[in-house]
Amino acid sequence: MEDLSLHILDIAENSIAADADKVEIIIIEDEKADLLSLEVSDNGVGMDKKTLKKALDPFFTTKTTRRFGLGLPLLSEAAKAANGNLSIDSRKGIGTKVKAEFQFSHIDRKPIGDMAQTVMTLVMGNPEVELIYTHIKDNCKCHLDTREIKTRLGDKPINSPDGIRILKENLKEIQMKLKGEKK
């Protein structure tokens, strides 16, 4: 995968496949501390200890459509290549949290990528899932919560034209804030 947003998309899709109806994505860019952190947590079925031990093995997957699972192993390797690490906390029946940390300035750190497109893809493909996206860059904290957008929409679905418009507006505002631009 060429950027971190694709890793995040993969992990969030796995969360949804594991019956999560709430997925939270947190990205922290801290140039002063030379740290980039990304976290995806869910309230899905979680993993037992045996499955958790095998989660970083590329030749292990719980999916029946293929024989290998490369998402977490590739993210783990990407973190290690940038002087970082990956941790997984999962409890059966409670959910899973995947956290990857990278040395922000490391030459081999992958770019974050297009988080707006990742969020749009997740929401449009899974309108029933609550998605909470928080992105912190230095002193700028941006937040998007689909529950708030759904409340604003009333009985219109979030993947309706009005929902898509609101979502795009929110994501554009987040991108501008993170770049230090004003409306």
pLDDT of residue 183: 59
**Average pLDDT in the chain:** 90
49 in a structural domain = yes
Q: What are 73-121's pLDDT values in tens digits?
A: 889 999 999 999 999 999 999 999 999 999 999 999 999 999 999 999 9
CATH assignment at residue 24: 3.30.565.10
Q: What are 124-141's pLDDT values in tens digits?
A: 999 999 999 999 998 899
On the question of pLDDT at 72 being above 90, the answer is: no
178 in a structural domain = no
108 in a structural domain = yes
Domain of 137 in residue numbering reads as: 4-142
Quote the number of domains for the chain.
1
pLDDT of residue 82: 98
Place of tokens 């493909």: 125
154 in a structural domain = no
54 in a structural domain = yes
- 150-178 burial, b at 16+ Cβ within 10 Å, e below that, comes to beebeeeebeeeebeebbeebbeebeebb
Tell me the three state secondary structure of residue 79: helix
Query: Over pLDDT 70: what percentage of the chain?
Result: 90
19 in a structural domain = yes
160 in a structural domain = no
Task: Give the confidence band of 64 by pLDDT, cuts at 50, 70, 90.
Answer: very low
110 in a structural domain = yes
Q: Specify whether the CB–CB gap between 34 and 27 falls below 8 A.
A: no
Q: Which amino acid is at 50?
A: K
**Stretch among 2-6, 7-11, 61-65, 138-142 having the lowest mean pLDDT:** 61-65
Q: How many CA atoms lie within 13 A of 152 on its CB side?
A: 15
